Amino acid sequence: MTIKLVRVDHRLIHGQVGFTWTKFLQANCILIASDELVEDSLKMTAMRMAAPNGVKLVMKNIEDSATALNSGVTDKYNLLILCESVDDVYELTQKVPTLKSINLGGMKDGDDRKQISKSVHLSENDIALIKKMEANDITLTVQMVPDEQAVDIKKLI
pLDDT exceeds 90 at position 17: no
Number of domains in the chain: 1
pLDDT in tens, 104-149: 998 888 888 999 998 899 999 999 999 999 999 999 999 999 999 9
**Three-point CA angle 59, 85, 28, nearest 5°:** 40
How many whole angstroms from its chain centre is CA 77? 16
What CATH number is given to the structural domain containing 83? 3.40.35.10
φ, ψ of residue 6 in degrees (nearest 5): -115, 120
DSSP string, 59-72: EE-HHHHHHHHHHT
pLDDT in tens, 37-69: 999 999 999 999 999 999 999 999 999 999 999
pTM for the whole thing? 0.94
- The residue segments making up the domain with residue 7 are 3-155
- Nearest-angstrom CA–CA distance, 58 and 81: 10
Cβ-in-10-Å burial (0-12, 13-18, 19+) of 93 comes to buried
